[in-house]
C-alpha cells in the first residue's frame, strides 16, 4: 500500500502579527498546513499498522526543501517536490495541475490524502481538482479512513449527518482536522529527516509553465474586532446575553 500525502508550505500562522489589519509576513517561519499534518498522520498510522510507504508531495518555493523535513520527521518515507519561487502564491487550479502532473510520475499510488483545506487560504479546491485530473474517485470531509486491500471505507462528516462511503482504490480523500492527533516526532526522527530520499523537480521537468493567475487577491485583511464593553453582574446574565446573540446553545 503506497500512500501519497499532499502538503502545502505556508507561513506559521501562530507567528503572524497583524498591523493595521494587514498580516505582517516578514521573517515569519514557514511550516506545513495544519490539516495537512492530520492527513500525514492518517497515512503514517496506516503504514505502521499495515506496512507500505508514505510519500509526501508538495509544490512551493525553494524553502520547501527545508520545510518538508517536518513531514519527513513526522513519518513520511520520502518526498516528491516541485520547486519554483512563484508557486507559493499560485492559485488552486495551477497547483492542482502541477500536483496532478507530479502524481502521474509517481507509480504505485493506492491512496492520495489531502487536508480538507490549506492552512492559509482554505479554499478546499486542490483535492477535488487533482482527483478530477487523475480521474479517480474522491471523498471529502473524511473523519475516518479504513483500508481493506482494494477498497477504502471512509466516514464523511457533514454538518448534520455522517455518510459512510466505500470506494475502490486508487482514490483520493481529503480529511478533517479532527481525524487524529498528529504525533510529536522524536529527536532522532527530526535529525534523520534531512537524510530521507527526496525527488526534486522544476516546472520544466514536468513540461509545465505557470499559467496566468485566474484568481487575484485584492486585499487580505484581518476582521475588525471591537470590544463590546458590556458589564454583566452574574453568570446567569452572561449565559442569557450570549444565547440571545446565538453565541452559545445553538
CB of 194 to other proteins, least distance (A): 7
Do residues 127 and 154 make contact, with C-beta atoms less than 8 angstroms apart?
Answer: no
Q: Check binding of 29 to other proteins (CB under 8 A).
A: yes
* C-alpha span between 244 and 94 (Å, rounded): 45
Q: Check binding of 237 to other proteins (CB under 8 A).
A: no
201, β-bridge pairs: 82
CB of 67 to other proteins, least distance (A): 7
Do residues 248 and 242 make contact, with C-beta atoms less than 8 angstroms apart?
Answer: yes
Nearer to other proteins, 33 or 185 (CB): 185
* C-alpha span between 88 and 84 (Å, rounded): 8
Q: Check binding of 79 to other proteins (CB under 8 A).
A: no
To which H or E segment does residue 104 belong?
A: helix 92-105
What string marks each residue from 201 to 230 as x (binds other proteins by CB under 8 A) or -? ------------------------------
CB of 185 to other proteins, least distance (A): 6
129 CA to centre of own chain: 14
Q: Check binding of 10 to other proteins (CB under 8 A).
A: no
Size of the site for other proteins (CB under 8 A): 15
Q: Which of residues 42-71 bind other proteins (CB under 8 A)?
A: 66-67, 69-70
Q: Which of residues 162-201 bind other proteins (CB under 8 A)?
A: 184-188, 190-191, 193-194
* Beta-carbon count within 10 A of 148 CB: 10
To which H or E segment does residue 31 belong?
A: strand 30-32
Which residues contribute to the site for other proteins (CB under 8 A)?
29, 66-67, 69-70, 73, 184-188, 190-191, 193-194
Amino acid at each position: 500500500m503506497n500512500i501519497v500525502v499532499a502538503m502545502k508550505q505556508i507561513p506559521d500562522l501562530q507567528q503572524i502579527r497583524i498591523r493595521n489589519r494587514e498580516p505582517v509576513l516578514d521573517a515569519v517561519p514557514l511550516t506545513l498546513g495544519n490539516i495537512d499534518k492530520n492527513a500525514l498522520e492518517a497515512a503514517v498510522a496506516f503504514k505502521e499498522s499495515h506496512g507500505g510507504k508514505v510519500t509526501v508531495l508538495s509544490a512551493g518555493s525553494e524553502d520547501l526543501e527545508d520545510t518538508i523535513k517536518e513531514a519527513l520527521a513526522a513519518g513520511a518515507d520520502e518526498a516528491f517536490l516541485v520547486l519554483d519561487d512563484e508557486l507559493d502564491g499560485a492559485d488552486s487550479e495551477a497547483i492542482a495541475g502541477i500536483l496532478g502532473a507530479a502524481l502521474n510520475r509517481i507509480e504505485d499510488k493506492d491512496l492520495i490524502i489531502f487536508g480538507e483545506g490549506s492552512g492559509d487560504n482554505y479554499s478546499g479546491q486542490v483535492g477535488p481538482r487533482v482527483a478530477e485530473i487523475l480521474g479517480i474517485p474522491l471523498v471529502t470531509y473524511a473523519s475516518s479512513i479504513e483500508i481493506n486491500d482494494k477498497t477504502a471505507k471512509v466516514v464523511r462528516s457533514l454538518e448534520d449527518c455522517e455518510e459512510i462511503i466505500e470506494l475502490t482504490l486508487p482514490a483520493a480523500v481529503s480529511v478533517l482536522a479532527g481525524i487524529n492527533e498528529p504525533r510529536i516526532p522524536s529527536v532522532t526522527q527530526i535529525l534523520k529527516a534531512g537524510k530521507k530520499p527526496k525527488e526534486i523537480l522544476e516546472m520544466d521537468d514536468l513540461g509545465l509553465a505557470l499559467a496566468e493567475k485566474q484568481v487575484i487577491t485584492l486585499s487580505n485583511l484581518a476582521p475588525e474586532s471591537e470590544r463590546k464593553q458590556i458589564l454583566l453582574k452574574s453568570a446567569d446574565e452572561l449565559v442569557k446575553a450570549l444565547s440571545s446573540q446565538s453565541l452559545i446553545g445553538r
